[in-house]
Amino acid sequence: MGENINWQEVYQLAESWIREAGRIIKETIESPIHVETKSSPDDLVTDKDREIERFLTEKIREQFPDHHIVSEEGYGDRVNALSGVLWLIDPIDGTMNFVHQKRNFAVSIGVYENGVGRVGLILDVMTGDLYHVVKGQGAFFNEHRLPQLHAGELEKAVFGINATWINANRRIDPEILRPIVRKTRGTRSYGSAALEMAYVACGWLDAYFTMRLSPWDYGAGLILIEEVGGVFSHADGRPLDLLKGGSVLVGKPGVHKAIVEMIQAGLANGKYFREELE
Ligand code: IPD
Ligand code: CA
Ligand code: CA
């Protein structure tokens, strides 16, 4: 399989579904939201996350019954291999923003074939901005083709990082990150990993770092970033596993390299880094 898939057609269907998903959310944005917490008080899910995931998974299954789906809220499949076509779906990325701000959240769809990113879409629901890519055909912010990223330098970088990681936490020694943050021009945190990765693809952020993401958070973002010559890995430079998740560092090649080197230097100095914590 593979050679027969028309990725442009897959893109067009995915675009119509993501836009419909965006319309459904936007139309009901002022309605009361039913919010529940999952693993912790800051891990939120709403009836909308579930409704949108159900909508998208039904569309995919109807159209592509032999494709597999990995998604956040339980409507996907149990997938443990990258063979065939895999859809990585986050129905609402930035649920906390959705609940607290009614803005700065996204729907994210990434489509992979045998582990190779083919089609990616990230819709900023409230602005209607669509970040999209078909591998080999360019990455786009709405109708604007994104230029290739240049190497970049840490000293001139705007770094996407949440304050969690430079304060006491279980996963990474804040002493690893503080010197990195000090070196950059500044930091930003938007609360939607998908949008933050889209911003890296657009060159608006020079890198984005987090210690804990799942495949649906970065499925689309990685494809966008790869298309414009950006780089991604786990925080310490190891290659990312598409099905497993964990720490994620994406960025312009030079900025990514500088951050990895500083993280590795921290590890060599005995600082802690716990990727595997639940
Ligand atoms: C979350 C957002 C957030 C990131 C979290 C993710 P969700 O996704 O992307 O920015 O820091 O790690 O879990 O739960 O809103 O889909
Ligand atoms: Ca998410
Ligand atoms: Ca989500």
What residues does each domain of the chain span? 2-145, 154-268
- For residue 247 the two structure tokens come to 């720490």
What per-residue confidence (pLDDT) applies to 85?
98
CA 1 to chain centre: 27
DSSP conformation class of 142: T
What per-residue confidence (pLDDT) applies to 3?
59
* Residues near 63 by beta carbon (within 8 Å), at least 6 away in sequence: 13
Domain 154-268 matching CATH 3.40.190.80: the answer reads yes
For 155, the 3-state DSSP assignment is helix
Atom number of ligand 1 nearest to Cα 217: 9
Spans in the chain with pLDDT lower than 50:
1-2
Q: What is the pTM of this model?
A: 0.97
Radius of gyration of the chain (CA): 18
Instruction: Tell me the CA–centroid distance for residue 208 and ligand 1, in Å.
Output: 13
Contact (CB, 8 A) for 252 and 146: no
Instruction: Tell me the CA–centroid distance for residue 27 and ligand 2, in Å.
Output: 21
Question: Which pLDDT tens digit goes with each residue over 202-254?
Answer: 999 999 999 999 999 999 999 999 999 999 999 999 999 999 999 999 999 99
- The closest alpha carbon to 209, from 142, 276, 260, 168, belongs to 260
Contact (CB, 8 A) for 11 and 132: yes
Q: Is the Cβ atom of 94 under 6 angstroms away from ligand 1?
A: yes
- Going 196 to 201 to 206 to 212, the CA torsion angle's sign is positive
What per-residue confidence (pLDDT) applies to 166?
95
What per-residue confidence (pLDDT) applies to 2?
47
Q: Which H or E run includes 21?
A: helix 7-27
Atom number of ligand 1 nearest to Cα 216: 16
Counting DSSP H helices and E strands in the chain, the numbers are 7, 14
CA 230 to chain centre: 14
DSSP conformation class of 220: H
- For residue 104 the two structure tokens come to 């700065």
CATH topology of domain 2-145: Fructose-1,6-Bisphosphatase; Chain A, domain 1 (3.30.540)
Instruction: Tell me the CA–centroid distance for residue 3 and ligand 1, in Å.
Output: 34
